Amino acid sequence: MGVEGNLEISLFPKDGKVSRVEITSSRPLRLTSLFVGKEANEVLSMVSSLYSVCGVAQKAAALGALEAAQDIEVPDTVRRARGLAVLAETAREHILRIAMDWGNGKPCNDLPRIVAMPGNIVKALGEAFSIGGACQADHKEIEGQIALLEGYLEKEILGQAWSEGHEAWLLAQETPIAAKIHDVQAQGWAELGGHAEVLPLPELDSGRLADLFTDPDYVAKPDWQGSVCETTALTRSGTGDLGQGLLARMLALVEELAAIPQGLRDYLEGKGEGPKSDAVGSWGICQVEAARGRLVHGIQLTGEKVDDYRILAPTEWNFHPQGVAAKSLEGLDFEDESLLVEKARHLICAIDPCVAFDIKVG
């Protein structure tokens, strides 16, 4: 097991349905205690080595928090450059989720190039990922990476029918993911988990976050004004009219992917803001929209050294014991154990944890 830990999701059936869900986590959320007493550059290096999943978003959040805590002004061009790189990473993470969980097992020659794309973009952004930042973007290289992504999406994810709307796309089944979602729909699984009533995560006030971060246990089981919220591709998407079931979640991921090439070009053209950073007393807070939802880093400094550090990841919202995953899994029909596990696996992958998970039927 890697440093990220994993989730154990236990389903307890009663009278033909899942009556109770327990989610336990082995994620090492207090690992940031290693940062205490370290200087800023040391912390950045440790973040990069310890947090490999969504590593670009993690580094962008760490930089934003460190800069805010040290009252370092960062040019808008640098913020946008970091936002561009995080968005490229979001594309990669969504594509890997599709390839691993909803593909047909057929290898794609272009996938290694997609995996390398966010790193190539970071290199093409000059010193944007250094403290204070400086951006001398290689537009030609970045445009080439966007074109690579666009070509991959058209060939492997979207196909020709995407522009004709969801229904036509599902019927055409031109790509493995379209065929998979069509299959989900044909099995009558479209509304799986749709009964869960969980509020989308709202804008988070940095001052309130700084207060909450004084409790070291907050990041393990967060809430916002008494509510456990959801932060996923679905809460960012325009597919809300389809509800909150499995179909809506899978389509939200594809919808977000389809919009990313234009989003990357918008950043290149000087549009958008990138990660949000705030100084609150001795705390620096940075919020980043990462692939799986809102990622927050908070750092408290005395002089040049770290007094405290918090990371609030989207998995702790979405896989909270009373969060959207648990509520979506409650009530699933229990026809037989293998079918229940298959339904649960589809729902969990659609909500998308950042770590491995095990499903157990109690």
For residue 140 the two structure tokens come to 């030609």
Q: What is the pTM of this model?
A: 0.96
Cβ proximity of 178 and 155 under 8 Å: no
Q: Tens of pLDDT along 17-75?
A: 999 999 999 998 889 999 999 998 899 999 988 998 999 999 999 999 999 999 999 99
What residues contact 110, with CB distance under 8 A and at least 6 apart? 148, 151, 152, 155, 156
Tens digit of pLDDT for each residue in 84-105? Answer: 999 999 999 999 999 888 865 5
Q: State how far the Cα of 318 lies from the Cα of 208, in Å rounded to an integer.
A: 20
Q: How many CA atoms lie within 13 A of 227 on its CB side?
A: 12
Name every residue whose Cβ is closer than 8 Å to that of residue 15 and which is 6 or more positions away in sequence: none
pLDDT for the residue 2:
42
Q: Which residues fall within 8 angstroms of residue 71, CB to CB, at 6 or more apart?
A: 279
DSSP state of 311: E
Q: Is residue 309 part of a domain?
A: yes
- Parts of the chain with a pLDDT under 70: 1-3, 103-107, 238-240
**1 falls within a domain:** no
pLDDT value, residue 240: 60
Q: Report which secondary-structure segment, H or E, holds 112.
A: helix 111-123
Domain count, the chain: 1
192 occurs within a structural domain: yes
Q: Which of 345, 353, 360 is nearest to 101 (CA)?
A: 345
Q: Exposed/middle/buried for 154, CB within 10 Å: 0-12, 13-18, 19+?
A: middle
Q: How far apart are CA 11 and CA 21, in angstroms?
A: 5
**What CATH number did the domain enclosing 328 receive?**
1.10.645.10
Instruction: Give CA–CA dist 117/260, Å, rounded.
Output: 13
Cα 117 to Cα 111: distance, rounded to the nearest angstrom: 10
Task: Determine the structural domain holding residue 182 and report its residue range.
Answer: 6-361
